[in-house]
Structure 1
Amino acid sequence: MTIHRPQRVVCVGVLVLGAISSVADQPPNREFQAGVALVTVDVVVTDRHGHTVPGLDRSQFRLTEDGRPREIRQFQAVQVPPPTGSLPTAPASRPRVSSNAREGQPARTFAIVFDDLHLSPAQAEPARKVVAAFLKEAFSSNDRVALITTGGDVWWTTVVGRGRDDLFALTSRLQGHRPPDTTVGHITDWEALRIHDRDRSVLALVTRRLTDVGADEVYAASVNRRRITLRLLSRVTDALAGAEGRKSVILVSEGFVSEPQRSEYRDVIASAWRANVAIYFLNARGGAELATAGATDSPRLLSEGKDTVGERSVYIDAVRSEAEGAVSVALDTGGFAVGATADLGRAIRQIADESRVYYLLAYDPLAPLDGKYHKIGVEVLRDGLAVYARKGYFADTPRGKGRDPEPTSDKLAPAIRAALDAPADDGGLPLRLAAYVRNNDGDKTDVMLVGEVEVDVLPDARPGAPDVDIEYYMASVSRESGERAGISDNVHPSSSEGHAPLLTRTFRLSGGTWQARLVVRDAKSGRMGSVTHDFEVPLQEGFRMTTPILTDTVAPGPRPVPVAHLAFAAGAPVVAQFEVSGQRSGPDGISRVLSGFTLTGPGGRTLAHMDPTPIRPGADGRLARMLKLPVPPEPGQYDLTLTAHDDIA
């Protein structure tokens, strides 16, 4: 058996390094950039048929705060091209190193929240079809998408163009966890709420059909489910606060009753207003109708008010009371609700269109950071059009900025938690992340995560001086099982010339696809960065090779040091090291593994080649090889192909 391990992104040369540094350090190119004191509002405008309206200008909008006119200081009309046919095929292999350097213009961001706590197993199947329909029809290749379950089994983020297959694979893990109650004595959540609120008419109706009401138990269970779902929605909207472009949350749920006096309702709406996020509610109640509703369906419309124009409003079914809480959350955040008997295809297109054609308005607030709620009013000065935007905001300090002394339930600072949850990487502190799959021991494999921090951008960093105090968190999650691994720490790295400080941790992981995230914060300035890296942990079967270490740093021993970069300075010595395992032994108990390599440069010309030669076991019996690669004569991109062959197999 022969293994070929091409290292296709090995770049050598100061020219490549310069290009990478300039991308990491430059601010993003934004057409619209609101100042710190400005309030930003996303505005969707539709015609009588519910279609989004492009082509409006600043003069056609009127904006008020608390009823007082405000000047529109900044304005941008956004129109994202619709998807063109099928999405591109996902890359054949994942990148060896991931960076949080910004690429191009900000994309749209979607968070699909699958509310498995409010879905029964039977309802989960059509609800999964809703998610699959969104993945297939609504997204463009550069959209950022997070797929999340309220029960905590799934939290995965990706860019659609490179992670579409991961999202489709995750839909198989979307299950319903609410046990169905088909007993004669079944009480709905709404009935339990009304009885809890001393509604005698509902109590009388329920009592006539039951001898033992049991409303207290049903109400307590309902409160617990709602609390978890609403708190997770707040966590999701908090995580979206730092993302640029249009931000939307799609809640796929059976819905929940409305009890607005509870703090969780106010918190999720305030968080959505703060983050400028619209929440859309897709009602899964009604079984398979949700996935099969067609254009002939005639959903009943519930208007937001007499000024509502067209068909956008709210599509809602006959069991409104059981889902009224989810409907109100959607309306109050600038989204809408879709009932189980609505035209699903039309609803998906409408949500996608509202994220493709919209307007960004920014203005000076009346009283910056006074801690109070302020109502926002937006009008369009053209007949026959409807306007949808968030209804207000709280003038307080945005979450996730600087140090927040209040820890979350998992003991992480809110800023760290939001950065770990966010679909988009934070480029405030340049980072890179790589994964090195080592040999296995038992049913799990040692995987070393290596992060690099460009601390030179920090104000207190001096070459060679440990003046930087950073805290970091590394977390990994399995796509197949939801298994998690994470660790946090504080370090005092030195900034040495030519090398970024390394953050290295080893985790024991099962086979499959994993997603790792590194979050770093400078303790003094509060400056943060985050980076996401997807990688494969192969099943430990047969003849195999560890992830090759390619490095310009060698510790005494000699011991090659794993790094998180594939660009090296011209003239710097570069070392490669790998290990093989799973080889067969001959009748004499001795294995025979041969290894060689080929290094090619620009134009495909061969710079160095070594025919396969036997790998001699080390003192510990391991089969490892270290190669000192020849220094290329000029800057450019170089490809290294390693081969290993089990001669006995």
Structure 2
Amino acid sequence: MAAAAAAQTPTFKTGVDLVRFDIRVVDGAGHPITDLRQDEIRITESGEGLPVILFQRVSEPSESYTNMAVRAVTAEVSSNEAFPRGHLYILIFDQEHITAGNEQRARVAAEEFIRRRVRATDRVALFAIPGPGPQIGFTAEKLRIINELPKIHGTYRRTASTPVGTLGIYEAHRIAQGDETLIVNAIERTNSETGADFIAVRSNGRQVANASDDRTEARRVLVENARTVVAQSDAASRQFLQRLADVIAGFRDIEGRKTVVFFSEGFVQDNLSRELETVAAAAAESYCVFYTFDLNRRGPQMDETAAPTTVQSSEIQARIAPLATLAVETDGTMIVDAASHTQQALDVLAEQAQHYYLVGFTPSIAARQNRGSYHRVTVKVTRPGARVIARTGYAVSPSTVLADRRGSINNVLGAPFAQQGLKIDYTTYVMKAPEAGQQRVVLSLTADLPVRSAPDEKADVVFVVRDVRDGRVVASGTDTMALPASARPGAALGNGSWRVQFNVPAGAYLMRTVVREPGGLTGSADRRLDVRPLNGPDLAVSDLILGSAVSALPVRPRAYAGDGLSGVIETYGRSSLQLQGLDVKIDLRRAGTAETIAMIAADLEDGQEDPLGVSRRARFLLPLAGVPPGDYVAHAVVKARGETIGERTRQVEVLAGSAPPLMAEEAAARVESVRPVEVVRGDLARKYIAALRQRAEGTPAGPAARDASDGRWEQVEAGLRRVPADDDAVASALRGLALFVREDYAGAAAALNRSFEADPANALTAFFLGWAADGAGDARAAIGAWRNAAHLDPTLVSAHLALADGYVKLSQPALAVQALRAGLAALPSSPELQTRLRQLERNR
């Protein structure tokens, strides 16, 4: 059954339009159903079933919002699924269709609602349409919203002046539709108001008829004037609805169901059905639910200049009809005669729980061919006794362009809550940076992404880090990540991963990371980052880094019991003397308990000096034989001369057995998936660039070497243009690295090869030459370069690993095993080489 279900799961690929719908599902008693499954949902349009390919459940926080939010941003792994959501309120006053003075009660009720019922975790937006008036997006500043409410004023007038006298707006609509009773009454009223006939048709300067003699002519003139009033009224309403649709559509990049509190007296909708559908389509796209408040006053209007010509109840019913339409189309409610109980209605609204589902489905062919048009659907569930409450339809958006992408990402960066369109998880690793006063942070991220339709399709990734003290941006970046080639078994989406590193001073920071796939779905998650100083006078310890069967620097480490758990931790000091007498022990504990399952002492490497001091790395490979599968915590204790100087932990999942065999294609992808910028940001690259900078001091290549040290590769290229020739190994190496970052692999390989010929004893030049040659598609040249690097420096673990993966890429696993064994001869305790060798031997 599971296999059959997996086979039936449609794959979500890029280039495929996706419509997302928010629905509520309740039982017979009206209580929310919170355990619905994706396979229980049926969506049909004109009798045709539409496949559901995305499914998410959104629930009201089960405990204090503050507690959940703090736990979410401080967790070891930041996830947008763990972040709670408050309510999103959009207050809209229809100034065009509220009689002057009728807005006052609504303003007072809105102020009380904001003061008493809007929680600190909620966000409120306020718009007065049309302007002038407040235009405020989502904010937590309640006082700011309250101070803007007095600027809202109704401007609607129920009557209009015409050449034949005063006509009511609703009266004009009825006359234009041919209501004979109203036509006769209007003619008589106009004659009585003016005291004379209002029709005079002249021919050759002579009056030939008047209204009393020619009722047909009187009727024609009255109807023409009524139609003019209708046209003017419809134009104003049409303009208002377009502006309303624009406001609502502006929230489409912000995830979550939004409550639109819409204050209006309504308008006649006879000629506005298309515009109302446009608003409903924008609401569907933005997950907006309209709660329309009828502000019409029942009873005589003291400011009317004439007695009403139509039955008041009939006019009000006609005017509030579009309010009811918006409420029904968007799964909301209309509050009739709200002027008498606005506050009570708002209180009821605040009590509503946020339990709903977001479902994504493929639109019909007709909807894709007629983008922007409204298409009605039916949503049902197969569970007995369950009832669906949903909006009535959708519209497919126009294709996105680059400007939409940038605007969408900026909206998500400023959104009040984490976005959950795409599931993302990320964590950080903090280590010492080579620059004084800086710490290096490595961000490792995974995301659920659609399957790529073309090899070069990528998702956008953006992160921003702000100082918690003043909101100042201390680090940010924009990049892309590869989309997966296939979906996970039984799922519509695949997995994507991405890493970046940046430097920040010690301090407390809040960061937001955003992922956006080409079709427009986004995910974001927030994280609090507390960075300790690692290059001060005292001993300091890095984060604990665990190896994983998934990848290096994993978001969620996994280890197989048959392979053991490998890892590394670094200790930093000002001198080698400080780092003598170190003792590093690692123990594995069950998650949530202090029970120790296994323990080992780490192997300490020799100290490595740098301009800021000395670092010493401790590696370990903890056996997991007999450890049952489950969630655990790896706990490292670092002591110097018996005194504890640091404790670090990292969660890890232990799986039964051994890691599955690594396929040749996956091994090849290890090399292919590494981006040039990541290569030159790594430890070896920084070490290599630091050596090049030292050698370049006092030479024409000195400024370019300093730019390379700061990661300014475009300036490196520009600076090297002033260097006479590549007769120098340093200049050639810098040029090669700059070309490599620009992904000019052939040029990079040529330049690095010249550097290696000038300095054939440099192992790091050979190592990076291998990367450039591989990028240029010359796998055998890459293997030769990596072989040279491993020969020149047998302790270069990365060279042994790259050489092994290069052999696997050429379908020569025996040579790969031989390369790893040669590396282990020089580095018998290397957990990276040991783990890689076991993987290859199982695959043979």
TM-score (normalised: structure 2): 0.38
Structure number with the higher strand fraction is 1
Which is greater in Rg? 2
Structure number with the higher helix fraction is 2
